[in-house]
Structure 1
Amino acid sequence: MGLSSVVTVGLSALRYKLLALELGSEGIGLLGLFATVLALGVTLFGVGVGSSGVRQVAASQGDEGEFGAATRAALLRGSWLLGLIAVAVGLLLLPVLRGTLFLDVPAPLTVCLIIAVAASVVSAGQVGLLNGLGRLPEIAKANSFGALIGTALTLGLLTIAPQWALGAAFTAAPLAVLGLTTGYTWKLRVRRAFAWAELWGAFRPMLLFGLAFSVSILMSNLVQVLVRILVKQELNLKNVGYFQAAWTIASVYLGFVITAMSAEYYPRISAIAHNALELNRQVNVQMRLVLLIATPIILLLMFLAPVIMAILYAPEFGRAAELLRWQLLGDIIKIASWPIGFLLLAREAKKAFFLTELVWNVSFLALALTLLGPLGLKGLGLAYGISYALYFASVVWFSKRLTGYMMESRILVFVALALGLGVGVEIVSNNDVIADNLIWKMLFILLSVFLGVFVLGWHKFRKHIVV
């Protein structure tokens, strides 16, 4: 799954790069607008059913009777229904879209956007079914080959019809993923008739729980927009670009880790959600594993922040290196929080999940308002880290109330030590003499690995990992 994410992101970057060379900044700006509306449309019309469906399918795996069959059928048919609703509403709003957001944009491109939204909504439900059943190879193949097909079509059209290449850039991959996941799920379809009441009884919990995902995502998107507006007002548009660059790099890195591990971890703990003792043990095991893997990479990225910014963007973006380091420092807490957050999802704690997301978004916005003025972009990095510390405390508190969860002391010790090392990296990075010394960098990385093995006890938890 991690390699699949790398392939998908790499091919996406290739599409953007070649489109930028051919269509210029205006073409990329239009593509960015399409991508933003696409993400918003999938959130609104998908209502989180793909994510909530993973939990329902995984929990029903042991039930070979009516409930298990109805759950699978409801997820697949419900996703297709949501996709059809997206097409119908999109076509009804087509004149509005063309008259506001996509003024002077050819109608076929706007129709392509509607098709891409519907395809993404349907394929999300089908991926949810595959994920809940543990069919990870099929998901990885669908994502990778979908991105490959989308990139090939985009590049093929780029030389003969650049305008259609722009449409293919955001439509071809979702359609390819839809075709592949439809093929993978065809043999899993339940070939029998269900009464409407049966399907609704299985689909309703997915829909209600999915709304918590959707509302949280919309809330996060709104906060991100407000923070960017704040940066523009307090500083300038150039600093908005620096913030966007740092945020993207940190998000992409974590995306690899979370996508790969959640694909196996979330269904696994959903299947044992009723067993609080085993659920809590698996959460601690996952925390040890993800911290051991992620922390050395985070520290390495902190050291290489100026180089990464210059390579992926331009030399002037090196000014955002300090912001990126503070964000990565906060990501240590985020990584530690992540396995506990999935406990709330596995237990279907809608209110607790929403409240923990609310804690992060409100605290990040409030701290950004407070710290941006006196500290500049560094204030956003501090706001990010403090917000995740508050989020971490909230997920632990809710999990303790739900299942009696207790975090192992060695995990807390490791997180504290990792944060200390991260602060050390920030101090060293601001010292030109030490920062250019490769020995210091390797020392920090090796020290983090040693602490991980020693504190988290690799030999003790390796045998407990469920594959």
Structure 2
Amino acid sequence: MKDSKKANTVILKFPDFIRNNIVLKITSLNAVVISIRLIVSVIIQRLLAVTVGEAGIASIGQIRNILAMLSSTSTLGTFSGLVKYVSEFKNNRPELTKVFSTATVFLLLGAIISALVLFVGADYFTNYVFKSNEFTYVFKVLAIIVPFIALSRVISGVVNGLSDYKKYAKIELISYLIASVILVVGLYSYNLQGVIIAIVIAPIIQLITLVAIFGKTLTQYVKLKNFKLQLDYRKNLMAFTLMSFISAFLINYIELEIRTLVTDEININEAGYWTAITFISKNYMVFATGLFTLYVLPRFASIHGRLEFTREVLTIYKTILPIFFIGMLLVYLSRNYIIQLIYPNFTGMEPLFKWQLLGDFIRLCALVLAYQFLAKKLVSSFVITELISLVLFYVLTKLFLNNYGTEGVVIAHFVRYAVYLIVVIIFVHLYYRKQSKINA
């Protein structure tokens, strides 16, 4: 009888545990958004696979990498800096205004430079990325879209800095659904070209959704009458510019290069298989990305002691790692069904699942720790660890590609993050050892 009462008490307390655990609250809300996105994504990816084939999937991967690179260059990489300083100064409006003023200058410079480079170099880029002149107009359209990408990125930084996870979830879901509808219309109207244009204009949809949902909140923190173009925080944000160049620009550049390498060394269909497995990976990794920017980065920014940091990391690990492990195990066990459901005839994907999933799980463990570099603005630690990771990925891919074919790319992905995790642990340990000596 007592055991029964105890069990009932535990069951009744479980919802309270969720309500009191901010990590679980964000995770559970993200789960709803990601689940809806996943269902829509499955439908769209199947339509794309059937309609444009492996080669088309590879081309779509190229344009997505270009957009991700522009999200960094168009703002000169101020996103993580905005998240950090908004979380620190959300109750200090004068300092917050200075941060926004500096970010706006960075945005203007980044957007103008990126737009000019894209417009002038449209012929070069289309030949470099797609090996043809067919998509020259895409880069000229992108040049026009760049300011929208920049503004969307800056406002997203504010949403994340305020840890407004409910509005973040709403913005992500609505903008994704609208963009998906436009993509399907583009697919059936103009085939691959329509899809690429739909992807290119997605940042405009994101910006409109951001302003519609978050506009009133934004005006509470950004007072236009006090707004001036100043550079008070230029040194602070420039550190994040360098880190963003590594984390957003170079990572996507390396992916773009590897896709080209697989196309040249094997064939474009194999590049399509690898692109397809990375699409699946990115769909479930988005689940963690929201948690990192909404909770981990602002939380780590406010932690100063080793003991408190360790406790927080363990809490995050205990909360999300079991969820991810079960999810990834289910993905692996149902890999053949996933291929039949989403990518029919993409049978070459099957051997890629194991190494991709193992690499992603280790990556998740490492990223939780690595966000300390962003939170504490540890530029050298961040740059060194990321460069080691990127160089390893590219070099190992070139080495493994000859012996293992496309599977060599995902084996390189696994080895890269295994080494990366060890290196990050060492750097975090060295940081706190240095801090203890300073405080001694």
The alignment status of 1:305 with 2:338, answered yes or no, reads no
- Whether the 8 Å CA contact 2:352–2:410 is kept in 1: the answer is yes
Q: Which amino acid aligns with 2:335?
A: A
Distance 1:172 1:151, change over 3 A: farther
Q: Is 1:343–2:372 an aligned residue pair? A: yes
Q: How far did residue 244 of structure 1 move? A: 2.7
Q: Please identify, of 134-143 and 345-354, the stretch whose mean Cα deviation from structure 2 is larger.
A: 134-143
| Paired residue type of 1:296 | I
Please provide the CA RMSD for this pair: 3.6
* Aligned twin of 1:175: 204
Distance, in Å, in 1 between the alignment partners of 2:73 and 2:252 is 12
* Residues 1:188 and 2:218 aligned together: no
Call closer, same or farther: CA 1:99–1:403 in 2, change over 3 Å. closer
Task: Name 1:129's counterpart in structure 2.
Answer: 158
Q: 2:96 aligns with which of 68, 76, 94?
A: 68
1:50 aligned onto 2:79: yes
Match of 2:326 among 296, 299, 302: 296
Alignment of 1:58-457 (within 5 A): 58-62=87-91, 64=92, 66-75=94-103, 78-79=106-107, 82-93=110-121, 103=133, 107=137, 110-153=139-182, 166=195, 169-183=198-212, 184=214, 185-193=218-226, 196=229, 199-232=230-263, 235-270=266-301, 272-317=302-347, 319-404=348-433
SS at match of 1:47: coil
Q: CA deviation at 1:275?
A: 4.0
Is this contact kept in 1: 2:62–2:256, CA < 8 A? no
Deviations 1:72-104 (A, max 9, x none): 443356435543554455445567668987735
% same residue: 22
Q: Deviations over 1:242-274 (max 9, x none)?
A: 33333332232222233345422222222x143
- The one-letter code matched in structure 2 to 1:212 is M
* Larger deviation, residues 183-192 vs 122-131: 183-192
User: What is the Cα deviation at residue 322 of structure 1?
Assistant: 2.7
Letter of the 1:188 counterpart: Y
Residues 84, 161 of structure 2: 8 Å contact kept: yes
Which residue pairs with 1:447 in the alignment? none
Q: What's the offset of the Cα at 1:67?
A: 2.0
Which residue does 1:424 correspond to in 2? Answer: none
Offset of residue 352 of structure 1: 0.6
- Shift, 1:186, TM fit: 3.2
With over 3 angstroms needed to count, the CA separation of the structure-2 counterparts of 1:309 and 1:352, relative to structure 1, is same
Shift of 1:118: 2.3
Decide whether the 8 Å contact of 2:65 with 2:255 is kept in 1: no
Which letter does structure 1 place at the counterpart of 2:278?
W
Whole-Å Cα distance in 2 between the matches of residues 396 and 121 of structure 1?
A: 33
Alignment partners' CA distance in 2, 1:292 and 1:283 = 14
Asked whether the 8 Å contact 1:56–1:206 carries over to 2, the reply is no
CA shift in 2, pair 1:73/1:301, >3 Å: same
- Count residues in correspondence: 399
* Secondary structure class of the residue paired with 2:307: helix
For residues 145 and 130 of structure 1, do their structure 2 counterparts lie closer, same or farther at Cα, with a shift above 3 Å needed? same
1:143 alignment partner, SS class: helix
Pair 148,368 (structure 1): closer, same or farther in 2 beyond 3 Å: closer
CA distance 1:404–1:280, change in 2 (3 Å): farther
Give the conservation status (yes or no) of the 8 Å contact 1:130–1:139. Answer: yes
Change in CA separation of 1:104 and 1:384 when aligned onto 2, cut-off 3 Å: closer
Is the 1:83–1:121 Cα contact (8 Å) retained in structure 2? yes
In structure 1, C-alpha distance between the alignment counterparts of 2:291 and 2:285, rounded to whole Å: 10
Shift of 1:355: 1.0
Give yes or no for contact 2:58–2:275 (8 Å, CA) kept in 1: no
Amino acid paired to 1:298: M
CA contact (8 A) 2:243 2:383 kept: yes
By how many angstroms is 1:323 displaced? 2.4
Q: Cα distance 1:67–1:281, how it changes in 2: closer, same or farther (>3 A)?
A: same
Deviates more, 1:396-405 or 1:223-232: 223-232
CA distance in 1, matches of 2:276, 2:196: 25
Unaligned runs of 5+ in 2: 1-29, 435-440
Instruction: Give 1:166 shift.
Output: 4.9
8 Å Cα contact 2:381/2:427 also seen in 1: yes
**Structure 1: distance between partners of 2:352 and 2:205:** 37
